[in-house]
Amino acid sequence: MIDTLRTDVPEGEERLRLEVEDGIGVLTLCRPAGLNAWSWESTRQLGLLADRIRFDRSVRVVLLRAQGRAFCAGIDVTAPGGAIEGRTDAERARNYYEGIRWAHERFAVFAGLPQPVVAAVQGHCLGFGFELALMADLRIAADDAVFALPEARLGVAVDAGGDLRIAREAGAGWAKFLALTGRSLDAATAERLHLVQLVVTRDELDGAARAVAVEIAANAPLAVRGIKHDIDTYADAGLAAALDRTAGSAALTLASEDSREGYAAKGARRVPRFEGK
């Protein structure tokens, strides 16, 4: 697993980049060649940047965006430290549980930023990519955006709370439908389900998302932060306990033989043979 004690980001190893301009903190996923696939290191860097944003008075709103043709294609299974080891399956599951709890703590800082977060989503927004977008307060999608939670097809649980946030936004039935089947959504359907607030053309995406960010940044900062906090307090009631349960489910499945079979089958482009063990 990644070194969680590091507080630096060596040049050339950036997974995200932060630039502050005119009251807007532009947070960019900057690994387009790998479709901005997510890793433990990405999580570490997100936590570091969220801490910087949190106490930066000059940042009134955050614009979350991505370079390239995809927002985020999911977890990068090739990234260093991607697999967590253990002397036994029980220890490995325990280590996964603690690792996921560590990740949840970083995501909580990001999702709980006092400043509103506007996500601009294009292309593939899959697995963790979808979960990251759902951590934002508002989502603007290009008409080519595709959303999915394919984890069950790989033999693992949805581990960052994306299914819980879908249940909050679209209802439990849709959360179960999407997470249990792994089906994908186009941008228009995501908008109909209230998972996206606005759909624009790909060429209009950056401008439209930035315009929303500018509109928010122009408003009174104390009022804006208060509104976000008040709505989140209501909407996220019970989320912390549900995320802890999620960490347990994810740890169990990540340490299972089914998950090994799921990823092996995907790599070999064959149908997986799950046995529930």
Contact, 196 vs 141, CB < 8 A? yes
Longest dimension (CA), the chain: 56
Task: Find the catalytic residue in 151, 169, 191, 204.
Answer: 151
CA nearest neighbour of 127 among 194, 73, 173 = 73
CA nearest neighbour of 221 among 25, 64, 59 = 59
Q: How many CA atoms lie within 13 A of 132 on its CB side?
A: 32
Contact, 142 vs 190, CB < 8 A? no
Catalytic residue flag (residue 215)? no
Q: Vertex 205, ends 203 and 206: CA angle to 5°? A: 100
Separation CA 117–CA 24 (nearest Å): 10
Catalytic residue flag (residue 105)? no
Separation CA 254–CA 79 (nearest Å): 16
Q: Vertex 258, ends 83 and 41: CA angle to 5°? A: 20
- 157 DSSP 8-state letter: -
> What are the backbone angles phi and psi of residue 113, rounded to the nearest 5°?
-55, 140
Separation CA 141–CA 158 (nearest Å): 22
Task: Find the catalytic residue in 13, 14, 41, 131.
Answer: 131
Separation CA 213–CA 233 (nearest Å): 22
Annotated catalytic residues are: 131, 151
